Amino acid sequence: MRITSIENYNVKKVNNMRSGKQPSFGRIWEKHIQWGSNFDKSKGTTNFQLFSFPDALAVFVEVAANKTKAGLKNIKERLVGVLALAGTGLAYDKAIPIDDNSKAYKMEHKGDGIYVANDIDAKPDDKYRYIIVDGARNVNIVKDPYAKKQENIHGWSSIYDPDNYKWKNTKWLDGKDPRRIIRNPKDETLHGLAKLRIEEINIPTVTKEGTFISAKSAIDKIAQQGIVNAIEIMPVENTYSKQWGYDGVDKFAINERMGTHAELKELIDYAHGKGLNVIMDMVPNHMGQDGDYLSQTGQYEYDSTEWGAKLNYEHDGNKYVRDFMVNAALWWANEFKVDGLRLDMTKHTASDYLLKQIVDEVNEHNPNVFLIAEDGRDNKLSLTRYDDTQNTHEEKINNIDLFVDLIGKGAKSTPHAIGFDSEWDFPFVHALWDAVTHNSRTSLTALDDAMINSNHRVKYIMSHDEIGNKDGTRLIPKIMAQYMDYFSNLNDSNENKGQKAARLSQDIFVALLTGKNSTDEDLKKLQQDYGMRYIFDRTALVNGLKAALAKSRLAYGTIMTVPGPKMIFQGEGSVDMSYFKFFRDFSPEFHNYPPNKGIHEKISAEKGYDISNEYAMKDSIVGQIKPGGEFANVQEQMIAYNKDLSKLIDSNEALQSGIIKSVYRDHENMVHIHSLEKDGEKFLIFKNYADNFHNGTYSSLGFPHDGKYIEVFNSDDVIYGGSGRLNKGREITADNQNLKLAANTMVILKKL
């Protein structure tokens, strides 16, 4: 049986397929929030609820007062005895701690692997762990998968205090601040995603201190620059070390090496006060390897990858695992008051029904919070297609349960509409990169297709992946390496040349921009040390850098002039010169497990550098390298460029959410043109991806005969570091164009 869309089936008909058994609707708000440990302030006690093995012989929760320090670092360190009833050998009745510093309580099995223990004498910050006797009589001692506070990934969980912060910017939270962006605005008070301009940030490297509190200074700079109106925080899910955050093993707990829950809330509140929307990155597609106890806890996992375990979204016991990830999304939305969620590499969840369930539940309980997917299936149409049926929320969730159940019985089923509000636009990234660096007829054609299909998708050219997973260098040194073709000139095996060319480009980039060690002799020696066959003189390298700067302005200009959401990476709006490398340290427990021996060295060899925090994170801190010499003003010029472009976008609806009426390609001169229209506004955007200047007329390519145009923006303006070949001061028509298009520049014309 193949079922292609849950909208094609009536829920009652599907119920009949299950012998008339009606599913119980269990996703009302009270059901979402009862998992894990929940302190009841009115009673002064704590309730516990865990999803574990349905055939477990017994499950206990062990609680230790916060003042108990000895032996609480690792969940496995303190001994506990588990006793069965005399004579049966089957019914496990007691768990006996090693001393009086803790107490163990048997949890009641409510069926389907749900275990509860209510009204337990436990307070916020008290420690707890679960003791599970599984069906094979293994005694598993585990932390809480729902732990909202987990200081040590191998340690006891802590009871969370929900009253740890008082929110200040209530006007923002109440939807009364016009700077807030929401998923579906009903009036003109708030804005939709068309206005969204994001800066992706990594807390450990956005400041030298790498904390939530210190990140407020980065928020100040971002707000002052006026380029973006949102930040996207790379995941802060709990891991062993400060890192990128995509190896989280505690999906509800934050990594406290960056600060407390209250300090993260303070940072988000502070960003709102500065007019910045906050997007939180979360990881539904896998568990990190270091500190993952889920397979010992219950039916949470079913397979593993090189990054860690896959979660069990469509196999036996899947319902509560899907709920687990849905509740994680709701947790970030509600507890931390974020404006949007970005879900990492959603295709690797291997369950579009999980994705649909997250969308449906967040839309129901947090209707203003928008959802962005990083999917990677070349803009799969169903991903951002909305479910416009009249089904109630209850029917939608019941349908998902039913169809996943049918998948488990061998049926094939795919949701017709998942309904994310946006997604990262990979085809746009690839097309733009090719246009900027390869100057080919094919790249302009691909750019056409990408632009036309990108209005609701997030456009960018560099994220943490394009930078950190590809040698650690940022956009400008990457462009410069391509432009100067360092790769072909290096003496080395192909296996090492890519990283070597990137490091050479970074070193030349920093030397020229800082003015340090940048004499002819310095640069000659640097190239010789890297093994270059042909040595470029200083003039050639400076020209290469200027070309890379112009190409980077052109790239960001292209992004900003396509309607819909846009994104830059931290520091890219101001020509930051630091690397951004992959960095991660592993816990001793992880290193000591035999299969993991040498994993640090293995990853370091793959990346071409030491990935430890001591080196890679240190190299990646924003703002640590300052420009000087002839390029002393380069950062101010780039900030002015992006700020002026953002102002132009904000003051013209057509640049935010207009319709791309036409696209034109001048393959001979590598010029691409697109027009935008909305409510009487009309713009023509000319982009010269060639490395040479030319005067052009574009009547044959469709320059409209509908009136007069004026130049309102030119990336070659001297105030942005350009050569000053502008078209200002005259009215331009189809008959008198003669447009000056400097190499690697963008020109915006507006119809009078």
* Whole-number pLDDT of residue 662: 86
* Whole-number pLDDT of residue 564: 95
209 falls in which pLDDT band (50, 70, 90)? very high
Same domain, 260 and 371: yes
Mean pLDDT of the chain: 92
Same domain, 395 and 330: yes
Is 629 a member of any domain?
A: no
Calculated CA dihedral for residues 638, 643, 649, 650, nearest 10 degrees: 170
**Is 528 buried (19+), middle (13-18) or exposed (0-12) by CB count in 10 A?**
exposed
Domain that holds residue 664: 657-751
Look at the alpha carbons of 107, 111, 113, 114 in this order and tell me if their dihedral is positive or negative: negative
> Is the whole model's pTM more than 0.85, yes or no?
yes
Contact 587, 154 (CB under 8 A): yes
Q: Which of 101, 107, 112 is nearest to 37 (CA)?
A: 107
How many CA within 13 A on the CB side of residue 304? 8
Q: Which of 747, 707, 700, 702 is nearest to 728 (CA)?
A: 747
Residue 439 is classified by DSSP as -
Same domain, 117 and 203: no
pLDDT digits (tens, 9 = 90+) for 575-606: 999 999 999 999 999 988 888 888 999 999 88
Is 247 a member of any domain?
A: yes
Query: Can you tell me the distance from the alpha carbon of 644 to that of 717, in angstroms, rounded to the nearest whole number?
Result: 12
Q: Which of 381, 406, 424 is the last residue of a domain?
A: 424
User: With 80 as the cut, is the pLDDT of residue 374 above it?
Assistant: yes
Which residue has better confidence, 271 or 705? 271
Contact 359, 390 (CB under 8 A): no
**Is 83 buried (19+), middle (13-18) or exposed (0-12) by CB count in 10 A?**
exposed
* Whole-number pLDDT of residue 202: 98
pLDDT digits (tens, 9 = 90+) for 403-425: 999 998 899 899 999 999 999 99
Q: 738: domain CATH number?
A: 2.60.40.1180
Is 621 a member of any domain?
A: no
Contacts of 93 (CB under 8 A, 6+ apart): 58, 83, 84, 85, 106
Q: Which two tokens stand for residue 728?
A: 């200002």
Contact 474, 580 (CB under 8 A): yes
Query: Which residue's entry shows tokens 């928020």?
Result: 219
Q: 42: domain CATH number?
A: 2.60.40.10
* Whole-number pLDDT of residue 694: 86
Q: Which of 678, 182, 207, 200 is nearest to 422 (CA)?
A: 182
Is 632 a member of any domain?
A: no
User: With 70 as the cut, is the pLDDT of residue 85 above it?
Assistant: yes
**CA 496-502-503 angle, 5° bins:** 90
Same domain, 60 and 90: yes
Q: 361: domain CATH number?
A: 3.20.20.80
* Whole-number pLDDT of residue 121: 96
Q: Which of 390, 407, 424 is the last residue of a domain?
A: 424
* Whole-number pLDDT of residue 6: 41
pLDDT above 70 covers a percentage of the chain that reads 96
Same domain, 208 and 66: no
Look at the alpha carbons of 292, 296, 298, 300 in this order and tell me if their dihedral is positive or negative: positive
User: With 80 as the cut, is the pLDDT of residue 70 above it?
Assistant: no
Query: Can you tell me the distance from the alpha carbon of 674 to that of 746, in angstroms, rounded to the nearest whole number?
Result: 11
Kindly report the length of the chain: 752
Is 531 a member of any domain?
A: no
Is 193 a member of any domain?
A: yes
* Whole-number pLDDT of residue 87: 58
Q: How far apart are the first and last CA of the chain?
A: 60
Contacts of 617 (CB under 8 A, 6+ apart): 204, 205, 210, 242, 243, 581, 583
Q: Which of 158, 186, 202 is the last residue of a domain?
A: 158
Q: Which two tokens stand for residue 257?
A: 């090496």
**CA 650-463-179 angle, 5° bins:** 30
Contact 38, 46 (CB under 8 A): yes
Q: What is the mean pLDDT of residues 614-630?
A: 95
Is 717 a member of any domain?
A: yes
28 falls in which pLDDT band (50, 70, 90)? confident
Query: Can you tell me the distance from the alpha carbon of 480 to that of 503, in angstroms, rounded to the nearest whole number?
Result: 11
Same domain, 271 and 245: yes
For residue 124, give the amino acid letter.
P
Same domain, 99 and 186: no
pLDDT above 90 covers a percentage of the chain that reads 80
Query: Can you tell me the distance from the alpha carbon of 455 to that of 562, in angstroms, rounded to the nearest whole number?
Result: 7
Strands 108-111 and 114-120: antiparallel
Query: Which residue's entry shows tokens 């085809």?
Result: 427
Query: Which residue's entry shows tokens 């900027």?
Result: 436
For the chain, the C-alpha Rg in angstroms (whole number) is 28
Q: Which of 476-480, 608-612, 745-749 has the lowest mean pLDDT?
A: 608-612
Query: Can you tell me the distance from the alpha carbon of 591 to that of 595, in angstroms, rounded to the nearest whole number?
Result: 9
Same domain, 39 and 143: yes
Which residue has better confidence, 84 or 253? 253
Look at the alpha carbons of 319, 322, 327, 333 in this order and tell me if their dihedral is positive or negative: negative
pLDDT digits (tens, 9 = 90+) for 246-259: 999 999 999 999 99
Domain count within the chain: 3
C-alpha 206, offset from chain centre: 15
Same domain, 347 and 384: yes
Same domain, 56 and 121: yes
For residue 485, give the amino acid letter.
D
Contact 538, 518 (CB under 8 A): yes
Same domain, 307 and 370: yes
89 falls in which pLDDT band (50, 70, 90)? low
Is 552 a member of any domain?
A: no
Same domain, 179 and 154: no
